[in-house]
Amino acid sequence: MEKIEQGHSEMAKQLKDIFGYDYFKNSQEAIICSILAGRDTIVVMPTGAGKSMCYQLPAMMMDGMAVVVSPLISLMKNQVDIVRNHFIEKSIVHVLNSTLSKFEQQLVREDLISGKTKLLYVAPEFLLKEENIRMLKSLKISFFAIDEAHCISEWGHDFRPEYRRIRQRIDKLRRKIPIMALTATATPKVRQDIQDNLRIPDAEIFQTSFDRPNLYYEIRKKTDAIDKEIVVFIKKHAGQSGIIYCRNRKRVDELTRFLQANDIRALPYHAGIMADIRNINQDKFLKEDADVIVATIAFGMGIDKPDIRFVIHYDIPKSLEGYYQETGRAGRDDGEATCIAYYAYADILKVGKLAKRKSLIEQDIIRQLLAETAAYAESNLCRRKSLLFYFGETYSKKNCGSCDNCIKEKQMEEGREYMYMLLETVKDTQQRFKDKHIINVLLGNTTADIRQFGHEESSHFGEGYEKSEPTWRSLIRQALLDKLLVYDAENAGVLKVSEDGERFLKRPYSIPIVSEKSKHNEDDADGDAISPKGGAIDKILFSMLKDLLKTVAKHENLPPYVIFHESSLEDMSIQYPITMEEMTQISGVGAGKAQKYGQPFIELIAKHVEENEVERPQDIIIKSIANKSGQKIFIIQSIDQKIYFEDIAASENLSMDELLTIIESIVAAGTKINIDYYIEGNIDQYHREEILEYLQKTQEDSLEKALKELGEDEYAEEEIRLMRIKFLSDKGN
C-alpha cells in the first residue's frame, strides 16, 4: 500500500516537474500505473482528453526507451515539438522517418544507442525494415505505444494495412515488451479487432466516456441553398473559429472562394495544395488570422485549437466514427460548440458507387458503415444517445437538451403494438436478416429475397402496412438503442432479439414513439425525417410561397417549376427578399424572372416579415463568384451566334452533361435563349412534338419520370433536357 502511494506521489511529482500539470486528467493515473506495472493496456479516450500523456510520462519514468508508432508524420513532429519544449536536451525525444536526411538519421541513431533518448516516434513502415528491427533488438525498450490504434481495423474510419503487421514485427525482437494501444475512437467491434490483431487478450482496458455535453448536434437537409445557409450561419457567428469538412478538393476550393467573396476569412486545406501553403493556412487558422478552414477530412488530426466553435459537414461523413472524431475537434475548451451535418440520401448513393472499384469485402464494410450513417441522419431519436450507442455506451437521460431531435417538439404516440410486431417478425424469420428485409416483410413488399425465403407466407407479411418505411427504420433503431434488438456478433447487420426483447414479448410495456403526424407536418411529402432546424429555412413562409406558386402557375397555365424552382423558394425563405433588387439575388432567379413573376412573391414576403417581425439577414447579401458568370455570358453569346453545343463544350472544356446543366441554370434564372438551330438538327420532329406535349401537361420537374412516361427505349435523356430548355425559355422567360 505504502509502495503504491509512493508510486503515485512520484508520478504526480514527475507530472508537475516535467510537464507542469498539477493533476491527472480522467483515468491517466490508472493507465500509467498499468503500463508501469508492465501490463498490456488499451486506452480509448476522446480527442482532447489527454491521451498522449498516458505514454509520455511513463516513457520518462521507465528504464529504456518507449517506441511510439504513429500514422502521420505531421502528427509526430507536432508531438515531438511539444515534448521537447519541456526539456533542455533535444535528444530526449526523437522521430525517425524518411523525411530526415541520411546524416540526420545517423545522428538520431547515435542518440538512441547512447541511451539519451526516452521516447522515439516512428511510422509503422519503420518496423518493416530489417535493419531497424536489428537496431531495436540491441536497445532496451520499455514499451510500445500504438497511437491511433483504430487504423488496425477495417471497421475503423482510417484503415492502414501496415498497421496489421505491427505485432508480427514486434515479435521479431523476441522479448516480452508491454504494448499500449491508444485511440480516440473505437466501437466495440474496432476495439475487439485491436485486441485480436495485437494479440493482447488480457490487456487492461480504459475507456473514457464519449459524451461531449458541450457539443450541440444537428442534421440539416441538403438543398441547393446550402452555400448560402452556411454564409448566413457564419455571419451570425462572426469572429468565431470553425471548420467545414467537404468530401472532395473541388468542393473545398469552390466553397472557400464563395466564402471569401462574401468577406469571410476562410482558407482551404487539402492534399492538393502544396505543403508549404497548407502549413501557412493551418498556422493562420491557429493564430486567428483566418476564422474558417474549409478542408477535406485530412485536416485536424493532431492540431489542437481549443476554441473551435463550430464544425460543419458539407457532405455526410462515410462513417459515424469519422463523424464523431471530426465533430470532436470543436469545443475542446469545454465551451459550447455547434456541429451541423448536411444530409442528402443522394450523397450516400454516390459514396456507395465510388466504392465499386474496391474488393467485395471492402465494399460490404463501406456499405454497412454508410447504412449506419444514413440511419443516424434520418432518425428522429436523440443524436447523442445514437452516437454513444455506436461506441457501446448507454446514455440514460430521456432528453439531452442539446441536439436537434431533443429540442424540437415532437408528437408522441404509443408504440407498444408496433414494437411487438417488429420483434415477432425478427423471430419469425429465424433471426437471420438485416433491417431492410425485416421492413420488407412488415410492409408486404415482394422482393426476390422475400420470395426465395418464402416470407410471403409469414403471418407478419404486410402486417405493418399502416406505418411508413422511415417509421419502421426508426423503430428498429429505437429497439437497438433500448437493447430489445441486438446485432448478431458474427454477421454484420443481422438483427436478433435480445433477452430484454424476450422479456418485452412476454410482458409488453409502453414504448413512446415519434408520431408520423408530427413528422409530416414539418417535412415535405417525401417522408424525410430531416428538418432544417435553427431558423435556416422559414418553414411557414416556404409553404405560403409554395401555395402562391401553385396559384400563379395555374393562372399562367404552366407547370410551377417553369416559374420558380423549389430551391428558389427555399432560398427566399432564408433571405426574405423584399425588393426587386434583392429578388434578383435569389438562387435561380435572374433579372428577367424577377421582373416577370417576382412582384406577388415580394409582396407576400414583405407582409410576412412585417407581421412576424422577422429579423432579415439584410446585411448578408450573398455574392456569387464572378468567373462563373463570365462563363455563362460566353455560353449565351455563343448560342446567339448559333454555335453548335459540341463546339461550345469543347472550347470551355465541359462535358455535354455539364454544358446542359449550365444552360439549364441560365434558363432557370430567366434568361431567354433560342436553341432551335441546335434542336432542329439533332431531334426529329415527332420526338420534339411528343416531348413538348408531355412537358406542357406534366406538373412535375422530373427527368426520370419524363423518360419513363415517354419510353426509355425510344427517347434519350439529352433530347428531353434540350426540349425542356426550349420549353422553359419560351414559356417561362
User: Which stretches of the chain bind Zn ion, using CB under 5 A?
Assistant: 382, 384, 400, 403, 406
- DSSP characters over 20-50: --SS--TTHHHHHHHHHTT--EEEE--TTS-
Q: 400 or 484: whose CB is closer to Zn ion?
A: 400
Strand, helix or coil for residue 343: strand
Q: 33 or 387: whose CB is closer to Zn ion?
A: 387
Q: 259 or 400: whose CB is closer to Zn ion?
A: 400
Q: 262 or 380: whose CB is closer to Zn ion?
A: 380
Q: 247 or 384: whose CB is closer to Zn ion?
A: 384
Q: 387 or 635: whose CB is closer to Zn ion?
A: 387
User: Shortest gap between Cβ of 337 and Zn ion (angstroms)?
Assistant: 15
User: Shortest gap between Cβ of 212 and Zn ion (angstroms)?
Assistant: 12
Strand, helix or coil for residue 276: helix
Q: Pick from 74, 88, 81, 33: which is nearest to 57 by CA?
A: 33
Cell digits of residue 62: 521507465
Q: 295 or 406: whose CB is closer to Zn ion?
A: 406
> What residues contact residue 77 under an 8 Å CB cut-off, 6+ apart?
95
Q: How far apart are CA 692 and CA 18, in angstroms?
A: 79
User: Shortest gap between Cβ of 403 and Zn ion (angstroms)?
Assistant: 3
Q: How far apart are CA 601 and CA 568, in angstroms?
A: 11
Mutual orientation of helices 566-575 and 226-236 as an angle, nearest 10°? 10
> What residues contact residue 606 under an 8 Å CB cut-off, 6+ apart?
578
Q: 384 or 467: whose CB is closer to Zn ion?
A: 384
Q: How far apart are CA 79 and CA 503, in angstroms?
A: 51
Q: 220 or 455: whose CB is closer to Zn ion?
A: 220
User: Shortest gap between Cβ of 331 and Zn ion (angstroms)?
Assistant: 16
Q: How far apart are CA 136 and CA 256, in angstroms?
A: 46
Q: Provide the strand spans (E) within 11-140.
A: 41-44, 65-69, 93-96, 119-122
Strand, helix or coil for residue 144: strand
User: Shortest gap between Cβ of 607 and Zn ion (angstroms)?
Assistant: 36
User: Shortest gap between Cβ of 554 and Zn ion (angstroms)?
Assistant: 43
User: Shortest gap between Cβ of 219 and Zn ion (angstroms)?
Assistant: 12
CB 663 within 8 A of CB 725: yes
Q: 384 or 687: whose CB is closer to Zn ion?
A: 384
User: Shortest gap between Cβ of 455 and Zn ion (angstroms)?
Assistant: 35
User: Shortest gap between Cβ of 402 and Zn ion (angstroms)?
Assistant: 6
**Burial classification of residue 334, based on how many CB atoms lie within 10 Å of its CB (0-12 exposed, 13-18 middle, 19 or more buried):** exposed
User: Shortest gap between Cβ of 316 and Zn ion (angstroms)?
Assistant: 19
User: Shortest gap between Cβ of 389 and Zn ion (angstroms)?
Assistant: 12
Q: 400 or 639: whose CB is closer to Zn ion?
A: 400
Strand, helix or coil for residue 86: coil
**C-alpha torsion angle, residues 532, 533, 535, 538 (rounded to 10):** 50
Q: Pick from 695, 376, 661, 643: which is nearest to 530 by CA?
A: 376
Q: 382 or 594: whose CB is closer to Zn ion?
A: 382
Q: 374 or 387: whose CB is closer to Zn ion?
A: 387
Q: CA angle, corner 108, sides to 104 and 114, nearest 5?
A: 145
Q: How far apart are CA 455 and CA 460, in angstroms?
A: 9
Q: How far apart are CA 4 and CA 16, in angstroms?
A: 18
User: Shortest gap between Cβ of 401 and Zn ion (angstroms)?
Assistant: 7
- Between the alpha carbon of residue 725 and those of residues 331, 384, 478, 665, 671, the distances in Å are 48, 46, 46, 9, 11
Q: Residue 477 carries which side chain, given as an amino acid letter?
A: R
User: Shortest gap between Cβ of 217 and Zn ion (angstroms)?
Assistant: 7
